């Protein structure tokens, strides 16, 4: 049973500056881009801002620009545009694969890069109707006191399930954040913290303006496991970027989504430089992943399944990329 969408006002600024000003003037307002995440949550009564600041009419957010040093992708670029960009596909294959795996074609023409990076975290006790959540005494993330997944704990373990972030992380992305004080550039990893209730480090009125990727000497790939083969969030998603040096690894980066409250780069992969991708190394990758992921009972699949699936994806993608690069 879904309640009707509560009434809200819509501001339609033409520039980033105006958008920030509108948001700061109305505490409790929210930015909206494609609306494919936020509006669903509003329909469920999870969020009820009385003003939405629409970013979709801001031209400066919709450009993709490349030069010899890399590419800049505006936060307002749609996922469909990203998925069909041939220059990106040739250099940053993981990003194209991640974009093509997001939701369905109808969502992708509306959904944006910025909205995907700022996607709310997900949990089977949270992504439910108002009626369902009230019947279950709500939960710590929204209106309640207790986490139903870890009732003894004090924090929310809802999972970050965006597909783009791990691909961007292995490709070395930085983001421009615009706010009242101007713009700052940070590594994408610094956008996130391990807290399902407040997983973004954006301050009030701040928005992501663009994503920067350095020119890529790496081969890269992204894959996810999901309950349904189409239109589904990742139970676990893994991106790998690998540069070979002769017949050994030059550098290796692995990043994960769907298992923790933030997407993250696997720690410890720099130690694999100079080694071939053999059975022993694959087992070490498997162990590293299983140690660092923290899946909880936030999806209909078990936490252990997601742990094992994440490790298997990381192992297989690494072996595949290495075989491609050294063939």
Angle at the Cα of 263 from the Cα atoms of 76 and 86, rounded to 5 degrees: 45
- Is the Cβ of residue 157 or residue 262 nearer to ligand SF4 in the bound state? 157
Q: How far apart, in whole angstroms, are the C-alpha atoms of residue 201 and residue 206?
A: 10
Neighbours of 100 (CB within 10 A): 17
Angle at which helices 303-326 and 279-292 cross, to 10°: 140
Residue 254 Rama label (left phi>0; alpha psi -120 to 50; beta): beta
Number of residues written out for the chain:
327
Residues at the site binding ligand SF4, with contacts judged by CB under 6 A: 123, 125-126, 139-141, 147-149, 156-158, 196, 298
179 binding ligand FAD? (CB under 6 A): no
Distant-in-sequence, close-in-space partners of 15: CB < 8 Å, separation ≥ 6:
58, 60
**Minimum CB distance to ligand SF4 smaller for 212 or for 306:** 306
Q: Which residue is nearest to ligand FAD (CB)?
A: 115
CB 87 within 8 A of CB 100: no
Q: How far is the CB of 56 from ligand FAD (least distance, A)?
A: 8
255 binds, among ligand FAD, ligand SF4, none (CB under 5 to 8 A by kind): none
Q: Which tokens sit at 235?
A: 């139970």
By C-beta, is 73 or 254 nearer to ligand FAD? 73
Task: Enter the tokens of residue 172.
Answer: 């070395």
Question: Binders of ligand FAD among 16-45, rule CB under 6 A?
Answer: 30-38, 40
Taking the least distance from each CB to ligand FAD, the nearer of 45 and 115 is 115
Contact 103, 112 (CB under 8 A): no
Q: Does 162 bind ligand FAD (CB under 6 A)?
A: yes
Q: Which of 20, 23, 42, 55 binds ligand FAD (CB under 6 A)?
A: 55
Which does residue 116 touch among ligand FAD, ligand SF4, none (CB within 5 to 8 A, set by kind)? ligand FAD
Cβ contact 147:139 at 8 Å? yes
> Could you say whether residue 170 binds ligand FAD (CB under 6 A)?
no
How many Å from the N-terminal Cα to the C-terminal Cα in the chain? 55
Q: State the minimum distance, in angstroms, from the CB of residue 83 to ligand SF4.
A: 29
Residues 90-149 that bind ligand FAD (CB under 6 A): 102-103, 107, 110-112, 114-116, 118-119
Q: Taking the complex as a whole, how short is the minimal distance between the CB of residue 324 and ligand FAD, in angstroms?
A: 25
Asked if residue 123 lies in contact with residue 157, where contact means CB atoms within 8 angstroms, the answer is yes
Out of 11, 23, 75, 239, point to the residue binding ligand FAD (CB under 6 A). Answer: 75
Of the pair 232, 284, the CB lying nearest ligand FAD is at 232
Picked from ligand SF4, ligand FAD, none, the partner binding residue 223 (CB below 5 to 8 A depending on kind) is: none
Cβ pair 34, 111 in contact under 8 A: yes
CB 285 within 8 A of CB 276: no
Phi-psi sector, 91: left (phi>0), alpha (psi -120 to 50), beta? alpha
State whether residue 303 is helix, strand or coil: helix
CB of 197 to ligand SF4, least distance (A): 7
* The two structure tokens encoding residue 124: 């089977």
Residue closer to ligand SF4 by CB (options 45, 172) is: 45
Q: How far is the CB of 163 from ligand FAD (least distance, A)?
A: 4
Partner from ligand FAD, ligand SF4, none binding residue 163, C-beta < 5-8 Å depending on class:
ligand FAD
Q: Which chain residues interact with ligand FAD by CB under 6 A?
A: 30-38, 40, 55, 75, 79, 102-103, 107, 110-112, 114-116, 118-119, 162-163, 207-208, 231-233
């Amino acid at each position: 049973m879904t309640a009707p969408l509560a009434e809200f006002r819509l501001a339609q600024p033409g520039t980033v500056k105006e958008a920030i000003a509108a948001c700061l003037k109305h505490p409790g307002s929210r930015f909206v881009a494609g609306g494919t995440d936020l509006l669903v949550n509003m329909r469920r009564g999870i969020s009820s801002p009385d003003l939405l600041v629409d970013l979709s009419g801001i031209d400066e957010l919709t450009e993709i620009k490349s030069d010899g040093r890399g590419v800049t992708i505006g936060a307002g670029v749609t996922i469909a545009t990203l998925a069909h960009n041939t220059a990106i596909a040739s250099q940053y294959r993981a990003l194209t694969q991640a974009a093509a795996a997001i939701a369905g074609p109808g969502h992708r023409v509306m959904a944006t890069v910025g909205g995907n990076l700022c996607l709310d975290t997900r949990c089977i006790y949270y992504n439910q109707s108002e009626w369902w959540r009230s019947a279950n005494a709500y939960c710590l993330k929204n209106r309640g006191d207790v986490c139903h997944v870890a009732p003894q704990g004090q924090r929310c373990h809802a999972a970050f399930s965006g597909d783009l972030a791990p691909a961007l992380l292995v490709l070395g992305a930085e983001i421009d954040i615009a706010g009242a004080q101007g713009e700052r550039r940070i590594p994408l990893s610094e956008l996130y913290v391990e807290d399902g209730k407040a997983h973004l480090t954006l301050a009030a009125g701040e928005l992501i303006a663009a994503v920067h990727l350095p020119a890529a000497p790496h081969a890269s790939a992204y894959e996810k496991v999901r309950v349904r083969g189409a239109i589904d969030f990742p139970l676990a998603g893994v991106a790998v970027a690998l540069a070979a040096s002769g017949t050994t690894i030059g550098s290796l980066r692995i990043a994960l989504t769907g298992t923790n409250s933030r997407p993250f780069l696997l720690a410890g992969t720099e130690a694999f430089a100079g080694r071939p991708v053999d059975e022993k190394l694959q087992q070490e990758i498997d162990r590293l992943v299983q140690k660092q992921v923290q899946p909880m009972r936030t999806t209909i699949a078990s936490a252990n399944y997601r742990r094992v699936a994440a490790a298997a994806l990381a192992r297989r993608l690494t072996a595949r990329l290495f075989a491609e690069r050294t063939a």
